[in-house]
Chains A and B, each alone.
Chain A
Amino acid sequence: MVDLSVALSVILLIIFLTFYYILNRKSEIGGAAETAGYENPKQFMRDTLGSRPRLLSVSAFLNDDAKSIGIRYLIASIFFFFIAGTFGLTMRLNLTVPNPYLLSPDEYNVLLSEHATLMIYMWAVGSAFAFAYYLLPSHLKVARDTRGTYSSAGFWLWFLGGVLIIYSRTAGRWYFYPPLSLQLGPNQAGLLEWLAVIGLEMVFLGVMITSIVVILMIWKDRGPEVKWTNMSIFSWSVLFTALMIVFSAPPLMVGLGMLFYDYFNPIFFTGPTHQVLLFTILFWFWGHPIVYVAVLPYFGLIYEIIPRFTGKPIYSYGSAVIGLGLLLLLSEVVWGHHLLNSGLGIYWDLFFSITSFAVVVPSAITVFNFVASLWSADKIRITTPMLFVINGIVDFIIGGVTGVMQVNQGVNQLVHGTYFVTGHFHFIFMGITTGISFAAFYMIFPTISNGRTYNVFLARLHFYFTAIGSLIMAGAWTLGGLVGMPRAVAGYLPIFQTYQDVSIFGGIIIGIGQLIFLYNIATSWLKHPTLGLENALEMVPAAEVAGSGGR
C-alpha cells in the first residue's frame, strides 16, 4: 500500500511537470500564431491540425484539438483499465480459498471499491469519450474546433479525479453509501475516504464539461452537409450518452457535496435527524443511467462497425436512432429497481419493475437491428473487430436476459446482492464496453500508429482469451448467485468453492488475454510502417459502406 502510494505520487508529479511543459510550449506556439495573424494561439493550433489523424503519443497531451483529446482519453482509459484489471485479478487470486490469505479483508475491500469505481468512471466513460472525441470530428465534418480549452480542462479534472480516487484507497464501494463511507479510522480502510469523494466530484465536473462540449459539437459544429437525418448513428449514440450524463449527474453531484459536508458536520446522512436511504436514492438516480452510459456509445460503434464488414447498410437507420433515444428516456426511470428490498414498499417495487420491463423494448429493437443487419448481408467478413462485435452482442443478450430475470420480485429476493448481479453486468461490461472498445481500437490502430498493423493471430488470440474467459468467469458467477453466493466479500462459505474456482480460472484467462494485447501492441509498434493512414471507422466515405446512415 505504501509503495503504491509512493508510485502514485510520482505519477502525480509527472502529470504536473507535463502540465508545466505545456505552459512552456504554449508561449512558443504563441509566437508562431502571431506571425500567422492569429490572436488565439490555441485556435491557430487547432486550425493547423484540422481533422487529420493523430498518433497514439504523448504529444496528444500537449495539443487541445478534438482528436488529440480523444487520444488522451484513449491512453488514459487504457491505463486505468489495466490498473483496475490488475486489482480485479488480485481480488480473484485472493478468493482461491474460503478465507482471505493473500490480502487482509481491508485490502480486499479497497481493491473491490477501486476496481468498480475505476472501471466505470475511468474505463467505460473514458473510452466512450475517447472514441467520441476521436471519431466525431470526421463523422460530423467539423470545420472549426473552438472548444479545445474546455475539453482539456474537462480531461484533466477527470484524470486527476481518477488519480485521487486511487490515492484515497477508498473502501466504500462505488456507491459510497453513508454511514459506511463516513466511518473514518485506521482500522477501516476509509482513512482518506473524503479524498475519494473529492476525486469523484472532480470526475463528475470533468465529465459534465466534456458532455456539454460534445453536445455543442454535435449540435452547433456539424459541417453543412451533415444533417440530423444523415448523421452517423455513432454521433446519435454519443449525443444521447452526453444528454444522459447532463440529465442525471447533478443529483449525485449534490449528494456527494452533502456527503462531503457530513465529514465535518454530520447532519444530512447521519446524526439525529438523518435519513439514510436518501443518499441511496440520490445515488441510484445517477447510478442506473451511468450503466447505460457504459453501453450506449458502444451500441453506436457496433452500428458503425457492422456495415464495414458486411458491405451492406444497417437494417434500419430510423429504428436504430429511435431505439437508442428510447434507451435514453426509459433508462432514466428504472433506477428504483436497485432498492427493491430496502423497505420502500411493494408499490415502489411494482412501479420500478414495470418500468424495468419497459426498458427491454429499446434494447430488443437494438439487438433486432444488429441481427437483421447480419441477415441482410451477402457475406460477413470474420475479422478481429467483427468477432468482438458478435461476441459483444451474444454477451449483451445473456447479460440482458439475466438482468430482466432480476426484475421479478421473487427472483430478486433470491439474487439481489449475490454474484448473479455481478455476473449479469460483467457479461455486458466485458462483452459490450470492453469488447467493442477493443474492436474500435483495432480498427483505428493503423491510423494512430502511423501506418503500422497489428499481428492478426495475436489479436485473434486476444479475442478468444477475452471472450472465453469472461464467459467462464461471469457464467460461474451467475450460476453461483442463483444458489445464494454473496458478492463483495473477501471470504465465502466453503459450499461456494467450485463457483469461485471456476471464475478464478476465467479471470486468469482474461488476464492472459490482456497481456497478449499489450505484447501485440508493443511488438507492432517496433515494426516499420507499411500502410496508409486511413481507417474504415474514421475516414471511409459513406457511399463506400453503402450508407450506414451517413458519416
Chain B
Amino acid sequence: MSNERNVVVAIFVATVVVWILFDFEFYAFFSTFFNGYPGNYTASLTPPFMATGVAAAFFTIALLVYPVWTKGVRESGVDFK
C-alpha cells in the first residue's frame, strides 16, 4: 500500500515538472508565434491551461503504464482468452 502511494507521489512530482516545462514551452511557442491581438492575450493566458492538459495526459498515461510495466507478463500460451 505504502509502495503504491510512493509510486503515485513520484508520478505526481514528475507531472509537476512536466507541467512547469510545458508551461514555459507553450509560453515560448505562443509568444513567438503570435504577433498581435488577440493572439497576445491567448499567449499570456492559455499556456498554463495547455500545460495542464499535457501534464494531465502525462499523469494518467504514467498511472496506466506503471501497472502494465510492473505486473505485465508475456505468456507464450493462448493469446486470445
Q: How far is the CA of A379 from the CA of B72 in the complex (A)?
A: 6
Cβ-based interface call for B24 (8 A): no
Within the complex, the shortest CB–CB distance from A115 to chain B, in Å, comes to: 27
Interface residues as binary, A425-468 with B (CB distance below 8 Å gives 1, 0 otherwise): 00000000000000000110110000001101001000000000
Q: Which residue of B lies closest to A402 (CB)?
A: B53
Q: How far is the CA of A375 from the CA of B49 in the complex (A)?
A: 28
Interface residues as binary, B39-81 with A (CB distance below 8 Å gives 1, 0 otherwise): 1011001100110011011001101111110011111000111
A377 and B71 contacting across the interface, CB-CB below 8 Å: yes
Q: Which residue of A lies closest to B43 (CB)?
A: A410
Given contacts A410-B38, A411-B50, contact A375 B67 (CB under 8 A): yes
In the complex, 14 of the A-B residue pairs with CB atoms within 8 angstroms, ordered by the A residue number, are: A375-B67, A380-B67, A380-B68, A382-B74, A382-B75, A383-B79, A390-B68, A394-B65, A402-B53, A410-B42, A411-B42, A445-B80, A454-B80, A535-B81
Select one of A381, A411, A446 contacting B73, CB under 8 A: A381
Q: Which residue of B lies closest to A309 (CB)?
A: B81
* Partner-binding segment picked from A55-63, A64-72, A143-151, A366-374: A366-374
Within the complex, the shortest CB–CB distance from B7 to chain A, in Å, comes to: 9
Residues of chain B having any CB pair with chain A under 8 Å? 4, 29, 33, 38-39, 41-42, 45-46, 49-50, 53-54, 56-57, 60-61, 63-68, 71-75, 79-81
Interfacial chain B residues near A414, Cβ < 8 Å: 39, 42
Q: Which residue of B lies closest to A535 (CB)?
A: B81
Within the complex, the shortest CB–CB distance from B31 to chain A, in Å, comes to: 13
Given contacts A390-B68, A401-B56, A410-B38, contact A385 B50 (CB under 8 A): no
Q: Which of B45, B54, B60, B64 gathers the greatest number of chain A CB atoms within 10 Å?
A: B60
Within the complex, the shortest CB–CB distance from A403 to chain B, in Å, comes to: 10
Q: Which residue of A lies closest to B81 (CB)?
A: A536
A371 and B60 contacting across the interface, CB-CB below 8 Å: yes
Within the complex, the shortest CB–CB distance from B73 to chain A, in Å, comes to: 5
Interfacial chain A residues near B74, Cβ < 8 Å: 381-382
A410 and B41 contacting across the interface, CB-CB below 8 Å: yes
Cβ-based interface call for A350 (8 A): no
Q: How far is the CA of A251 from the CA of B60 in the complex (A)?
A: 37
Within the complex, the shortest CB–CB distance from B15 to chain A, in Å, comes to: 13
A379 and B71 contacting across the interface, CB-CB below 8 Å: yes
Q: How far is the CA of A483 from the CA of B30 in the complex (A)?
A: 10
Interface size on A (CB < 8 Å)?
Answer: 42
Interfacial chain A residues near B60, Cβ < 8 Å: 367, 371, 397
A374 and B68 contacting across the interface, CB-CB below 8 Å: yes
Given contacts A401-B57, A483-B33, A536-B81, contact A408 B46 (CB under 8 A): yes
A398 and B57 contacting across the interface, CB-CB below 8 Å: yes
B80 and A442 contacting across the interface, CB-CB below 8 Å: yes
Q: Which residue of A lies closest to B60 (CB)?
A: A397
Interfacial chain B residues near A456, Cβ < 8 Å: 79
B81 and A540 contacting across the interface, CB-CB below 8 Å: yes
B80 and A385 contacting across the interface, CB-CB below 8 Å: yes
A394 and B64 contacting across the interface, CB-CB below 8 Å: yes
Q: Which 10 A-B pairs have the closest CB atoms?
A: A410-B42, A536-B81, A401-B57, A374-B67, A401-B53, A382-B72, A380-B72, A383-B79, A456-B79, A380-B71
B75 and A383 contacting across the interface, CB-CB below 8 Å: yes
Given contacts A380-B73, A382-B73, A383-B75, contact A390 B45 (CB under 8 A): no
Q: How far is the CA of A445 from the CA of B79 in the complex (A)?
A: 11
Interface residues as binary, A307-324 with B (CB distance below 8 Å gives 1, 0 otherwise): 010000000000000000
A410 and B72 contacting across the interface, CB-CB below 8 Å: no
Excluding A483-B33, A535-B81, 8 further A-B contacts by CB distance (< 8 Å) are A379-B71, A379-B72, A382-B74, A383-B75, A397-B64, A405-B50, A411-B49, A413-B42
Given contacts A371-B63, A375-B4, contact A383 B80 (CB under 8 A): yes
A378 and B81 contacting across the interface, CB-CB below 8 Å: no
A410 and B61 contacting across the interface, CB-CB below 8 Å: no
A443 and B81 contacting across the interface, CB-CB below 8 Å: yes
Within the complex, the shortest CB–CB distance from A496 to chain B, in Å, comes to: 14
Interfacial chain B residues near A367, Cβ < 8 Å: 60
Q: Which of B60, B63, B66, B80 gathers the greatest number of chain A CB atoms within 10 Å?
A: B80
A413 and B80 contacting across the interface, CB-CB below 8 Å: no
Q: Which residue of B lies closest to A412 (CB)?
A: B42
Interface residues as binary, A266-288 with B (CB distance below 8 Å gives 1, 0 otherwise): 00000000000000000000000
